[in-house]
Amino acid sequence: MNPADPPAATDSPAATDNPAAKDRGSWPQVLLAGLQLGLYSFGGPVAHLGYFERSYVQQRRWLTGQEFAGIVALCQLLPGPTSSQVGFLIGRRRAGWRGGLAAWVGFTLPSALIMFGCALLAPRLHGAAVQAVLHGLKLAAVSVVAQAVWSMAKSLAPDPRRAAIAALGAAVLLIMGSSRLQLWVLAGGAIAGVLWCRNLPGPPLPAGPEGGAGGAGSADGRGAGIALGLFLALLLGLPLAAASSTRGLTALASIFYRAGALVFGGGHVVLPLLRDALVPAGWLSDGTFLAGYGAAQALPGPLFAFAAYAGAASAPGMSLGAAGAAGTGAVWGAVAVIGIFTPGLLAAVAGAYYWRRLAVLPGARAALAGINASVVGILAAALVDPVCASAISHQALRGALDSAIALGGFLMLRRWGAPPLGIVVFCVAAAWLLSRV
């Protein structure tokens, strides 16, 4: 066997010599890590990847930066919430199926519960104080994403060729002004990697769900096939099942499942699409929907947790405060959350298997090196727009103060090792103080 070839999957005792296979965890451990991230991961899907990289790669060392980038690149190609899929695959890699579900539950539960509470208190989600807090969370996102770009660039674009791939990808996204070109940037990175990175040491093969590199067993293949089959069956079957009941739980599940299955780009894209599905049909009023949208921007965790708000607020009697409406709203919110997240998780299971199968083809490692460099470019472009563009004021003085706050948060992360929650508190407090001036 060529030393550069990936190790073959095996059930022999020698397989346990793989350090990744030894370094396994339990699902409660993964649940705790997910809960911690779900409590302080502010700033939307791009910022979430920064929090994940810091927690899973730098602090816990559950995987390398290159392995993390491989998972991110895969999830960028799939429909659904990228950050939730990344967390799910990391949890599955760490502690099997239970670990994957634990990572998703931990990351999603805090924001889902808060959004359900917001459905009960929607009229109170307005005012200057709320806007100041939201502004501080956006500045915290600038700090976190900047630190992630810095860290990932050092490991994934360390030489001129890969740095050029990253810079070119960022330039394309910024010049064209559309995040929907991410798939094309990743494809271009793969082609550039094949052309330019064949002589460079390539990244390791994407890790399997049990921590082994490269190999994909028959059981894993069956799981991927079942996941793909369920993905398609639910996508086609739920609308048929809901045809006879346009305002029941089945119809609600169909709306949210379709949104999660057919949207690329995460929460910022799915929220407008949900509005088109829910408001004109009378599930929610425009004011109720927009109040929840504003709250979702200010909360930690995945933006897809907005489904808990929209589902609960759509429940019979919720808008009138009827007796027992909270219990009904909780059921409707849970159905909406499960509906919107399920297709992305099924796609992640199937995609992870076929991703690893593809990785053994000639030139795949060079292509993956280019893709990983493109991930850096995508994050860098997102740092400029929308993260900085939406957080930094366009007024000269206020913009300089905003930049100083974000830079302070970045230095606290990079030079002094402050925890992300401390950055959030610092940025929110500073933004609130500025709003009082």
Question: What tokens appear for 436 in the block?
Answer: 């009082």
- CB within 8 Å of 79: residues ≥ 6 apart: 260, 261, 262, 263, 264, 343, 344, 347
List alpha helices for 41-81, DSSP H. 45-52, 65-76
Residue tagged 């007796």 (tokens): 323
Best CA proximity match to 136, nearest among 416, 413, 437, 406: 406
| Rg of the Cα atoms in the chain | 22
Best CA proximity match to 326, nearest among 337, 312, 338: 312
Question: What tokens appear for 146 in the block?
Answer: 């900047």
Residue tagged 């090196």 (tokens): 369
In the chain, the percentage of residues whose pLDDT exceeds 90 is 35
pLDDT in tens, 33-77: 999 999 988 777 778 888 899 999 999 999 998 889 888 888 877
Instruction: Provide the β-strand partners of residue 213.
Output: 207
3-state secondary structure of 283: coil
Kindly report the backbone phi and psi dihedral angles of residue 149, in degrees, each rounded to the nearest multiple of 5, phi listed first. -60, -45
Cα–Cα dist 353/224, whole Å: 6
pLDDT in tens, 376-433: 888 888 888 878 888 898 899 999 999 999 999 999 988 887 877 788 889 989 999 9
Question: What tokens appear for 271 in the block?
Answer: 């929220």
Cα–Cα dist 181/425, whole Å: 34
Please tell me the total number of residues recorded for the chain in this structure. 437
Residue 415 in domain: no
**How much is the average pLDDT of 318-338?**
79
pLDDT band at 201 (very low <50, low <70, confident <90, very high): low
Residue 325 in domain: yes
3-state secondary structure of 207: strand
pLDDT in tens, 249-278: 999 999 999 989 877 655 656 766 787 788
Residue 166 in domain: no
Cα–Cα dist 376/382, whole Å: 10
pLDDT band at 20 (very low <50, low <70, confident <90, very high): very low
Best CA proximity match to 31, nearest among 112, 120, 115, 98: 98
Lowest mean pLDDT among 1-15, 55-69, 81-95: 1-15
Cα–Cα dist 271/219, whole Å: 36
pLDDT band at 200 (very low <50, low <70, confident <90, very high): low
Question: What tokens appear for 157 in the block?
Answer: 């674009």
Residue 354 in domain: no
Residue 101 in domain: no
Cα–Cα dist 134/410, whole Å: 18
Contact 262, 79 (CB under 8 A): yes
Q: Sign of the C-alpha dihedral, residues 421, 53, 79, 141? A: positive
Q: What is the pLDDT of residue 218?
A: 54
In the chain, the percentage of residues whose pLDDT exceeds 70 is 83
Residue 419 in domain: no
- CB within 8 Å of 343: residues ≥ 6 apart: 79, 80, 231, 234, 235, 257, 260, 261
Q: What is the pLDDT of residue 216?
A: 42
Instruction: Provide the β-strand partners of residue 207.
Output: 213
Cα–Cα dist 408/427, whole Å: 9
Residues of the domain holding 278: 219-343
Residue 374 in domain: no
Report the predicted TM-score, pTM, of the whole model to 2 decimal places.
0.70
Contact 278, 255 (CB under 8 A): yes
Residue tagged 């799910």 (tokens): 88
Q: What is the pLDDT of residue 63?
A: 92
**How much is the average pLDDT of 231-241?**
93
Cα–Cα dist 341/256, whole Å: 8
Cα–Cα dist 186/134, whole Å: 31
pLDDT band at 322 (very low <50, low <70, confident <90, very high): low
How many Cα atoms sit within 13 Å of 9 on the Cβ side? 18
Contact 351, 201 (CB under 8 A): no
How many C-beta atoms surround the C-beta of residue 246 within 10 A?
Answer: 10
How far is CA 221 from its chain centroid?
24
Residue 339 in domain: yes
Overall domain count for the chain: 1
Cα–Cα dist 335/79, whole Å: 19
